[in-house]
Chain A
Amino acid sequence: MTVFRSRIDPASDGFRRNRADMLELVGRMRELEAQACTRSDAAAARFHRRGQLLPRERLALLLDPGAPVLELGNVAGYDPEGNGTVPGGGMITLIGFIAGTRCLVIANDSGIDAGSLTTPGSEKLIRACEIGLENRLPVVFLVESAGGNLLTYRVEFWHRAGRMFAMQAKLSAAGIPVITVQHGSGTAGGAYFPGMSDIVIGVKGRGFAFLAGPPLLKAATGEIADAEELGGMSMHARVSGLVEHLAEDDEDALRICRDVVARLRWNAGQPSTGGAFEDPAYDPDELAGVVPVDVKKPYDCREVIARIADGSDLLEFKPDFGAMTVCVEGTVLGHPAGFIANNGAIDVEGAAKATHFMQRCTQLGVPLVFLQNITGYMVGVASERSGMIKNGAKMIQAVATTSVPKFTLIIGASFGAGNYGMCGAGYWPRLIMCWPNARLGVLGAEQAAQTMRMVAAEKAVRDGEPLDDAALDKYAADIAAYYDAQESAFVSSGRMCDDGLLDPRHSRHMLGFSLAMAAESQLTETHPLSFSVARM
């Protein structure tokens, strides 16, 4: 045991200030999450009158009571300018437990705009499928969607959204069960959600699937059809063969779905992963106060790891070599992990050390956890001359190619190539989430502004033009504002650069959940097919 000794006093003014700042940001995040719930729940009367349950009510019946839930893309689609968007993109995606089985659940948030598909919603869906595929999670769709919004149609959206169905095929072929509960309509493309599923549970009288609903059919061919006859679940169960299980209502459908998942025997006979563990010596709740929300203020990243790892028991790798890059062995909820975190820019030694550490974790099969607070790789004559580029490149190579599962939390700054070397979204982290204080960018707003101001000034000098300081200042300020507007984690998470924002106090849970999922996925035996399960 090497229990980390914290230097932080939770009673100090600094801690209290940090915590207040952080909780304000967490509050803002919760507010955004609540917008979707409020919008969706406003449809309660309509749903209940029709004998239906709201999407979140369905989830509350489907998921195992008391079992953990990791929601993905909680602010996906968030636009600070508004523009009528609802954070969440009209789609709920989460990893949760059904009948004791960790599953990926994708539900249309059909209380909002009848579940019509949005760009962020379909991107969320595609990303969720990727997560399901990589982590071998059975995927459950709760479908009720009016289809693509014809009024806000964009060609690129339609074009890209086809991937949603391709992912269903990929999952099925990879041996991952794809189960759909058809709660409401599935029109046109939406009809392929059940169509591409291994198992479909259809709600009698409320679920529909047709390539063209009655209005389009009439417009296209003049044929007049009754919705029930055209694509009702009873018809599909008895005539077309699209539905395996016909349910009386939402509640019954979810009961059948739980039964279907239970019978997957997905983790049957699998040994439990992870060992016994202790709580951290320092309360994870203190994570809200350990970190200043201003990313310019330095702090010791080991204070964060100590509040995530079991027993705060950390074995630091090469503490006196490349000390600004911190590599630590620890466990989270009994699952071993190699932590890589930052106490400053990545220098030559730090890059070499991180590379070494990653190789070793790969050799041992120990998953990697990246805690990003990185301004970038070290610049300067000395740095360049000692091979920063090649050392940085080695680190990026190691991140890109390691075979162990990777998880990333952006807990502060995430700039430039530092984002890459520390396993940003481009480097296939199985999950990547941001604390709400995180700032992201190719470089900092001020540095970008000053760099461009200097370039502009040099050009003016070269062109023999007079220097207009006021114009240059405005130019720099505009650039700074442009960068600044994109730097916030709220913006980048809204644009789905990650899998969602996370309350810092939940970091230990989220990582423990993720590491357990990764460990399970390695033991889960799948039976891939060369083709998906073909619906007959």
Chain B
Amino acid sequence: MSFDTLLIANRGEIAVRIARSARRMGLRAVAVHSTADAGAPHVAACDLAVEIGPPEAARSYLDGPRIIRAARATGAGAIHPGYGFLAENAGFAQACADAGIVFVGPSPYAIGAMGDKAAAKRLMRAAGVPVVPGYDGEEQGDERLLAEAQGIGFPLMVKAAAGGGGKGMRLVHDAATLPDALAGARRESRSAFGSDELLLERAVVRPRHVEIQVLADTHAHCLHLGERDCSVQRRHQKVIEESPSPAVDAALRARMGAAGVAAAQAVDYVGAGTIEFLLDSDGEFYFLEMNTRLQVEHPVTELVTGLDLVEWQLRIARGEHLELTQDQVTMTGHAIEARLYAEDPDNDYLPATGTVARWEAPAGEGIRVDAGIVAGSTITPYYDPMIAKVIAHGDDREQARTRLVRTLEETTVLGPVTNRTLLVAMLRTPEFAAGAATTAFLEEHPPRMPAPTSGDVAAIAAWLYDARRREADRAAPGLAGWSSTGALDSRRRYAIGETIHAVSVHETPGAVEILVGDEGHAVTLDGETPIIDGDARPLRGVELAAGQILVSFDRLDLEIRDVGALPPGALDAIGGGVLVAPMHGKVIAVDAELGAAVVDGQRLVVMEAMKMEHEIVADGDGVLEEIVGDGAQVAAGQVLARIALEETAA
């Protein structure tokens, strides 16, 4: 089981992170990449790289035989699958074994046993691990599922039996909406996991999501590394994770830990694994599922336990003994992780694509940033929109929280829209600060996002004016800001969202005044650290193509358009019957025919992008005069449907 070369069958931050430990251990790291990722950071992080196909994951990162060939070609004795892609694919684990390559993870049996969510529940029930009431039978017809649902009661969750990560998952509040939910979940499940088998279970209302990290060696030694609280989620995807959980004390930790170890041992688990539980407010917990791989949020466990989970995965894969007793596992301080996604929280979390024009992450004591991007990286529509994890460790929860807030405030990611400011806002809510967040947190306490103030606009104008001034100083050295009339005036109109701000800059020797509308601000120009009315208002910005500007304040990311630099009409909102693709993707359903009368809100097209479904609905009543074809691959911004809107009665 010895190997000196490790192939990392993944991409993004996790591939970078695995390479870091592997190389530290003296292993040669081999990256694989699709053609879209040729210049990706994970390629640079490894010693060798092998191209494994076109951008689509199904033809590259999910192409097991090709990855095994790459391992053979590079002399890799082991493959680390990371998370996602092939990490929980028993067939791939078996193929590795057949090829004489070490699969860094549990046995194909364990993967299979836990991968079938329904079977896993039955197994856990048998092993004495508490399980949520539900239906996980093989009979999958709508009628049977509807009948079972009545028995379980609403609200309930529909889940892909083979799934995870929120794909193929629906929360259903009543029987009427169940059939649609079943259809959607089946479609997503089939596309994501190749199986449309579903299971139902009671939705525990306002639970916490608490999971137990386990480590098991090949010598039947298994222990747990405490819990992670992943209650803050959106669309059933984790956003903020922490360890320890504010809701778990030592006694509960011992109970849950023991349950986790029992679950792992029930499938002869080997390596790092995670048992997810729902923790009810009464302290009861229910087995949700086991992730038979490294978790995205493993760093919080690493920071509080001081253990390198990837290193232990590799050592276990080499057959080493886990030389640690449960008593020796200690948890020091508190760690919180925030997932930075390229997605638009204001637009139903639609994944965003594009080039990262600027990326700066702070470093410092108690700060860890696991990033899968660098400045200039392109976020493509092919893979998961998570671009980095920002993690803070502190002596206690509050120190970790404030450290994470500050780190995220200082993080710059400009290009595709991200959830950065939402993360900051969430971490700053009193509910989160108090450790009271449940999985209902985001819905119950949507954080208040700041709107740009006149001073913010003045700061942006000051930064842009200073940038122009520096250009002017290159064109006319020593003369920037000079006018023989004693004053220089420039005017611009900046559009931020729906609002257009008329801005004028008035420079006289030694003084700059900026008017935003009628509001005057005394300004000191200093690049990205302008002083507005005596207050420093630092920002980070980039200018993209003519007239397109992106600016980050600590708690506010803005997209600004210089109206006068853009042709008229460039600002006209899409709408008025023209429906465009919100992102790159594939049309998977078309509900209306050309010439059909449609009504406001009617679903016309379903798109699949980033493995999620997006519904395109009519924005008014009228007649369909253009509609995209089913199965079409569409680009972001492409017109999907055009409705000749009826004149609204005056």
Contact = CB atoms under 8 A, between A and B. Distances in A.
A57 interface: yes
On chain B, which size bracket covers the interface?
A: 35 or more
Contacts of B483: 68-71
Contacts of B476: 67-68, 97, 102, 513, 516
B564 to A, nearest CB: 5
B484 interface: yes
Contacts of B468: 64-67
A272 B476 CA distance: 9
B499 interface: no
B304 to A, nearest CB: 51
Interface string A62-97: 011111111100100000000000000000000001
Residue among B468, B470, B474, B482 with most chain A CB within 10 A: B482
A65 B469 contact: yes
A300 interface: no
B475 A254 contact: no
Contact of A67 (B480, B491, B492): B480
Given A255-B565, A509-B479, A64 B471 contact: yes
A255 B567 contact: yes
Contacts of A503: 484, 486
Contacts of A65: 464-465, 468-469, 472, 488, 490, 492, 505
A64 B472 contact: yes
A100 B564 CA distance: 17
B539 interface: no
A500 interface: yes
A78 B19 CA distance: 77
B481 A66 contact: yes
Interface in B547-595: 563-568
B588 to A, nearest CB: 40
Residue among B468, B484, B504, B568 with most chain A CB within 10 A: B484
A500 B469 contact: no
On chain A, which size bracket covers the interface?
A: 35 or more
Contacts of A70: 483-484
Contacts of A255: 564-567
A458 interface: no
Interface in A501-536: 502-503, 506, 509-510, 512-513, 516
Contact of B465 (A66, A254, A512): A66
Contacts of B485: 33, 69, 71, 74
B481 A56 contact: no
Residue among A67, A254, A274, A502 with most chain B CB within 10 A: A67
A204 to B, nearest CB: 10
Contact of B478 (A33, A61, A277): A277
Contact of A97 (B475, B489, B505, B563): B475
A63 B477 CA distance: 17
B507 interface: yes
A107 B166 CA distance: 63
A333 B563 contact: no
Given A100-B471, A255-B565, A69 B488 contact: yes
Contacts of A74: 484-485
B479 A60 contact: no
Given A61-B491, A61-B564, A66 B507 contact: yes
A317 to B, nearest CB: 25
Nearest to A30: B486
Contacts of A60: 489-491, 504
Contacts, number: 117
Contacts of B488: 65-66, 68-69
Given A30-B486, A65-B490, A69-B488, A334 B477 contact: yes
A512 B479 contact: yes
The A interface, classified by DSSP as helix, strand, loop or mixed, is mixed
Residue among B479, B493, B563 with most chain A CB within 10 A: B479
A100 B474 CA distance: 9
Contacts of A228: none
B508 to A, nearest CB: 11
Contacts of B484: 69-71, 74, 500, 502-503, 506, 509-510
A137 to B, nearest CB: 13
A500 B469 CA distance: 25
Contact of B475 (A100, A252, A334): A100
A252 B547 CA distance: 13
A78 to B, nearest CB: 15
Residue among A66, A272, A500 with most chain B CB within 10 A: A66
Residue among B464, B469, B485, B489 with most chain A CB within 10 A: B485
B505 A248 contact: no
A512 B504 contact: no
A68 B488 CA distance: 8
Given A65-B492, A65-B505, A97 B477 contact: no
Contacts of B481: 66, 68
A57 B503 CA distance: 12
A68 B480 contact: yes
Interface in A227-258: 248-249, 251-252, 254-255
Contacts of B482: 68-69, 506, 509, 513
A513 B568 contact: no
Interface in B515-532: none
A15 B483 CA distance: 25
Contacts of A64: 468, 471-472, 475
Nearest to A247: B568
A74 B487 CA distance: 13
Contacts of B471: 64, 66-67, 100
A192 to B, nearest CB: 29
Nearest to B461: A65
A74 B488 CA distance: 15
A430 B552 CA distance: 47
B511 to A, nearest CB: 14
B478 to A, nearest CB: 4
Nearest to B505: A65
Interface of A: 30, 33, 56-57, 59-61, 63-71, 74, 97, 100, 102, 248-249, 251-252, 254-255, 272, 274, 277, 333-334, 500, 502-503, 506, 509-510, 512-513, 516
13 contacts: A64-B468, A64-B471, A64-B475, A66-B472, A66-B480, A66-B488, A67-B476, A68-B476, A74-B484, A97-B475, A97-B476, A252-B567, A513-B476
Interface of B: 464-466, 468-472, 474-486, 488-493, 504-505, 507, 563-568
Given A65-B468, A509-B482, 14 more contacts: A61-B490, A65-B464, A65-B472, A65-B505, A66-B471, A67-B476, A69-B488, A100-B475, A251-B563, A255-B565, A277-B477, A502-B484, A506-B486, A509-B484
